[in-house]
Structure 1
Amino acid sequence: MLFSKDIVVKTESNKMVEITLTASGDYKDPFNEVELDAIFTDPSGKQLKVPAFWDGGKVWKIRYASPLEGTHSFTTACSKNEDNGLNNVKGKVEIKKYKGTNPLLQRGAVRIADDKRHFAYGDGTPFFWMGDTWWMGLTKRLVWPDDVKKLADDRIKKGFNVVQIVAGLYPDMPAFDPRGENEAGFPWEADYAGIRPAYFDAADKKIMYLAEQGITPCIVGAWGYHLPWLGVDKMKQHWRYLIARWGALPVVWCAAGEITMPFYLSQTKDADREWLKTEWTNVIRYMKETDPFKRTVTAHPSRTARESLTDPALLDFDMHQSGHGSGPAKQSALALEGWRTQPVMPVMSGESRYEALAIPKPLPAEAPRGAFWAHTVNSGLAGHTYGANGIWQLNGIDKPYGNSPGGNNWGITPWNEAMQLPGSAQIGAARKLIESIPGWNSFQPQPEMITQWSAKDTAVLAVTAGNQSALAYLPSPGTITITLPVSDQQYKAFWFNPITVIREKEFAITTDASGKFAATSPEAKQDWVLVLTKN
């Protein structure tokens, strides 16, 4: 911790550093009375206005990170000009090259790839979004450190690299429901008079652990229906606080969950939806203006993020909620709609079919697996987020989460049992397969190239740039005929079993003079994945 005005801090590229300041003045309501920023000048001469956050008492903190090596100088600017502990404090951050193994620090935070269809690390290295859903992961039902490390380590081993997690203003409950508390209580005072730093001090431990392990925290600021309770101005304060706390970490921002969905018991839902659409758009605009690190921004919708804003161009990518009750045909149709919608941006499903979700019968592994493949292939294989009932709401080991405000109960599977559901291993392993395919980060959906399919369900196909590779998902066994725009071309091919996650039946394919070929899957009554790569 640093309290001197002659501040010199050393760190490594992309690695967050923290600078602590102590106010000289006494304030009755520091959170609302004082606004503090640090104006950084990086080695290229670019200036960044970095918001600071109040951490209780007289303590304020600045968090900063940059991929640029060299000297980063700063001067603070405080709304209380006379406070010599906060205002006009000068210093510098010396940054050297990061020498560790964390890919988020080696390569930089996740951004949109140059093709505007996929994701990449900051340095341009392709990134496949393989997300897991921990909506209520900051509550005390997921105990720090043992529970967090156990769940995170399991997800890392299975191939997950993103966690979607809500910053205290949760779904499936009213405001200030005791189920939303963490070890320090709630994120806001009961009357929304101010933020509670102790809540975020506890949350820091979990968010920072995820980032330290190479998992990108996709931080959801609030569930959408909290906006009328806080009001727009306080929601902007909430987001400024999140940006100040966590923006220097390699995070992705999700403005809100089910962003235009009214509270479950609302009597004015149509009017609420329109108001939420307008005002959340304003909040997102504020987020993008406030964040100096320009982290990637999206929104979690009831259907698509694009249609949830009055200005969809504010989004960096289009997150979908593709339907807990929707089979592969509907999943793939929504994905293709997203691919074809303007403005161009990556498309992925951030919520599809939660494994073991009781609607009313628990969904088996084939439901989230089918949703993954159908939506992901038809949206260009940018990524997907899996969800398990029991983990999204963090059912306690001894005490289930309980009922929603409307009386629904989605199931009582404890999180530590839900962690072992087979779908997580099947879907997590799919990332390894996809990333092994040459040119995978240039996949585009090509449904029109499927010229015949023997079953009654919907098969999907994606092809890479230059027709180097192709991937088809078959929801059931059968024969698929595909016409590629290359004649007499030899391909190496294999069938991938998405249940056992192993390759089966390797063979060769040669397209005919019109580019056509046919392939018949193994006979087992299940879904199959066909992969082709040019010789």
Structure 2
Amino acid sequence: MDRFEAANQSEERSLRSVGPWSTVEFEFESDVDYARPYEEVDVIATFVGPHGETFRRFAFWNGGRSWRLRFAPTAAGLWAFTTAATDRTNGGLHSVAGELLCKEGSAAPLYEHGFLRASGTGTHLEHADGTPFFWLGDTHWRFAWEKWDRANKAGWSSQFRDTVDRRVRQGFTVYQANLLSWNPPPFWDRLLAGGEFDVAFFREVLDPRMEYIAASGLVNAIGLAWYAAVDGHPSAMVRLARYVVARYGSYPLVWTLGGEVAGYEPATRAQRLAAWRDVALAIQRDDDYRHPITAHLTCERPMPAEFQNEEWLTFTLSQLGHGDLDMSSEHWTDHLAAHPGKPLIEGESFYEGLTSVEPNGRRPVTDTMVRQVAYRAFQSGCSGYTYGAQGSWNGAWDSESGKSMWGDLPWHEGVDLPGAEQMGFLRRFYESVDWTSLSPAPELYSTESWINSTMYRPHVASNATRDIISVYFGETYRHDDGDAAVEVSDEGTYRVEWFDPRTGTFESVYDAERAENRRLGLPCPPTPGDWALLIRRNVG
């Protein structure tokens, strides 16, 4: 009788139970009072699953003599664990055994398909069962500072929770955040100076937020701090990383290490990269779930290539920026050509409502500007995009507290900006086809117009057989400036659909036949502005 069969017989017992990929927590009481439990002792549990699979999970100190252990089973059946503490004389922590029952069924699609990994093709992320994961992120670098039980927005009761709920309804799949942000809470400085570890900050502030994000079905793309936090104290950041893996590693996560990990000062670049590399390696050693690991990169041209040859890097999280430097789509395609086999996700670009830093003059970023970057990213080979709204990305409670070079829009106005809803429409557009099969195909487009073939050229993507083609036209494209066409694959008819990225609706759907030279003429869109076009060969 295997462990799965044994699980069926164990249901009569009083066992903790949970669904696959969902977190269950166990509590232990230490027999010893340690002066610095955060640093003095490690407790590791080895879980054995119904088919012999094993996972290690570190327990974490939760204050006083209390220790907790969090685990998410990956398959239905009976799981058993045994702990091992570095202090083997501590009977409350060492050689403690337990069981739990994992039952089929879960509430959110995220828990149905499992945690994330890179696909076998190296082009996108997917769930543990092979289901493609569409990365659509929302930025909250200061999520720990967002109010849990207050909101200065009519009809809302929580700045944090109501924002999460809104983004879930809009179709977002990722919550991109940073634990300590660029101005860490006071406990970090006290810890570096030899003071006590502030477990209450994790227990009372971070725990409910991390749990709420996971319960909402979002993947948390989490960083630890901003780049300079490792200066002079790299080992402290490694220890913090290990604690965070123990405390939150059973949730659906992506590790982004820290914000702009290299920093922008040449004199400290190498040492910062080395320090953050040590953080990544520590996470990889302690995380048996193998959550994807990446690094939030600096805004540079060409795109930074740090860590590309390192085994722990799952995908690249680029930063095209906010107009500081050239934002041509070639930066994505060039990066993918130079570093094939790793997915590329655009992680920070043109936050809506932010005041841009373009060389020719600063201006508020509009929803149109956001759309044009996001669609071009997918058309250029990116497999995900992270949106940001002024006031939300920096957690600005009001105009006064949010005032900076980036603008002074408060969160309760930024959260309502139209681009967020339109990002959900973008997801709808790509998920209407097998989006993971698309790759940049600029060679398929031809036109009589010189200006449309050069300055205002649309972005074309296609699958390998050319029976699915997507075209994105920016608002500057001149639809009345000569004929244009795309090259398709086979004889027969094609379904041609205009998609309005402002409303999320398909319009002017019709069937068209290709010409003998395999060219399919491109129609004019229903109205001016940016539009997406979807072309699919009719089968049967």
Q: Same fold (TM over 0.5)?
A: yes
**1:197 matches 2:199:** yes
Deviation, structure 1 residue 46:
3.1
**1:478 matches 2:478:** yes
Deviation, structure 1 residue 452:
3.2
When the two structures are aligned, how many residues end up with a matched partner? 504
Aligned match of 1:67 in 74, 88, 111? Answer: 74
Aligned match of 1:48 in 46, 51, 55? Answer: 55
Give 1:320's aligned residue: 318
In structure 2, relative to structure 1, the CA distance for the partners of 1:194 and 1:46 (3 Å cut) is farther
Identity, in percent, stands at 27
Aligned match of 2:271 in 262, 275, 291? Answer: 275
1:116-515 aligned at under 5 Å gives the runs: 116-141=122-147, 143=149, 146-168=158-180, 170-171=181-182, 173=183, 175-176=184-185, 189=191, 191=193, 193-201=195-203, 202-229=205-232, 231-262=233-264, 269-303=265-299, 307-309=305-307, 311-325=309-323, 330-359=327-356, 360-380=362-382, 382-397=383-398, 399-403=400-404, 409-437=405-433, 439-452=434-447, 454=449, 455=452, 456-476=455-475, 477-479=477-479, 481-484=484-487, 486-515=489-518
Partner deviation per Cα, 1:424-450 (whole Å, 9 max, x = no partner): 11122211121112x222111112222
The separation in 1 between residues aligned to 2:354 and 2:447, in whole angstroms, is 34
Give 2:99's aligned residue: 92
Give 1:266's aligned residue: none
More displaced stretch, 517-526 vs 128-137: 517-526
In structure 2, relative to structure 1, the CA distance for the partners of 1:458 and 1:389 (3 Å cut) is farther
Deviation, structure 1 residue 458:
3.5
In structure 2, relative to structure 1, the CA distance for the partners of 1:310 and 1:188 (3 Å cut) is farther
Q: TM-score, normalized by length of structure 1?
A: 0.88
Deviation, structure 1 residue 274:
1.6
Which AA in structure 1 matches 2:96? V
Q: Secondary structure at the match of 2:305?
A: helix
Which AA in structure 2 matches 1:318? T
User: Does structure 1 conserve the Cα–Cα contact (< 8 Å) formed by 2:29 and 2:67?
Assistant: yes
Q: Secondary structure at the match of 1:322?
A: strand
Which AA in structure 1 matches 2:79? H
The separation in 1 between residues aligned to 2:131 and 2:121, in whole angstroms, is 13
User: Does structure 2 conserve the Cα–Cα contact (< 8 Å) formed by 1:495 and 1:521?
Assistant: no
More displaced stretch, 447-456 vs 33-42: 447-456
Which AA in structure 2 matches 1:410? W
User: Does structure 2 conserve the Cα–Cα contact (< 8 Å) formed by 1:72 and 1:93?
Assistant: yes
Q: Secondary structure at the match of 2:354?
A: coil
In structure 2, relative to structure 1, the CA distance for the partners of 1:534 and 1:21 (3 Å cut) is same
Q: Secondary structure at the match of 2:145?
A: coil
**5+ residue gaps, structure 1:** 1-5, 178-184, 263-268, 404-408
**1:11 matches 2:18:** yes
**5+ residue gaps, structure 2:** 1-12, 151-156, 357-361
**1:77 matches 2:84:** yes
Aligned match of 1:521 in 519, 524, 535? Answer: 524
When the two chains are superposed, the root-mean-square deviation of aligned CA atoms in Å is: 2.4
Which AA in structure 2 matches 1:348? I
Give 2:5's aligned residue: none
In structure 2, relative to structure 1, the CA distance for the partners of 1:141 and 1:209 (3 Å cut) is closer
Which AA in structure 2 matches 1:394? G
Deviation, structure 1 residue 520:
3.1
In structure 2, relative to structure 1, the CA distance for the partners of 1:337 and 1:303 (3 Å cut) is farther
The separation in 1 between residues aligned to 2:272 and 2:437, in whole angstroms, is 35
